[in-house]
A = this chain, B = another copy of it.
Amino acid sequence: MDFLDLVANRESIRDYDSEKLIPEQILFKILEAGRLAPSACNLQPWKFVVVSSRQKLEEVRTTYSRSWFAEAPHILIVVGNSTQSWVRSDGYNSIETDLAIAMDHIILAAESLSVGTCWVGNFDYAALKKVLNLDKDEVVFAMTPLGYTKSGFRKKGQKSRKKMAEIVHFI
């Protein structure tokens, strides 16, 4: 599929069939897109946590309480370590950008394999960090459900975006 079609077709999915698990080889293809993502100085300061067990799913769901989120059979969480990422001379640390690139690759790879996602950033940060039992230097960045939609689901098929002329400047 053409990349622009992929981008245009991707939507945040909030309709998951809890019974339809993602085959392992599909999961690994999605993770591979994150693994191959670029990062500042190629430091790859990330971990990808795939939550599929009943107990851990229940714990993670408490950190973002939405009925549609609770139906996803898998949740993928991107975790980072800011002591492993690049630091610019003015003190800027690349960790957030590195993790955003990996997550964006993962979201687009899932779309290309007809797996639904929804980038979630509005979770209870402290609670999720505790559920994942992270080391002190590790940070939780973002998470997404991974799953297939229920039968009969239809995408909206259109995006609301600013016009090109509002956001592009040629100089």
Contacts and interface: CB of A to CB of B under 8 A. Distances in A.
> What is the total number of copies of this protein in its complex?
2
A21 interface: no
A33 B105 contact: no
B3 A1 contact: yes
A3 B97 CA distance: 21
Contacts of A2: 112
Contacts of A94: 121
Interface in A37-60: 37-38, 40, 42, 44, 46-53, 56
A66 interface: no
Closest 8 CB pairs of A and B: A100-B100, A3-B112, A104-B104, A97-B100, A56-B171, A96-B96, A49-B169, A50-B170
Given A7-B36, A51-B171, A97-B142, 5 more contacts: A4-B33, A7-B105, A50-B168, A52-B170, A100-B101
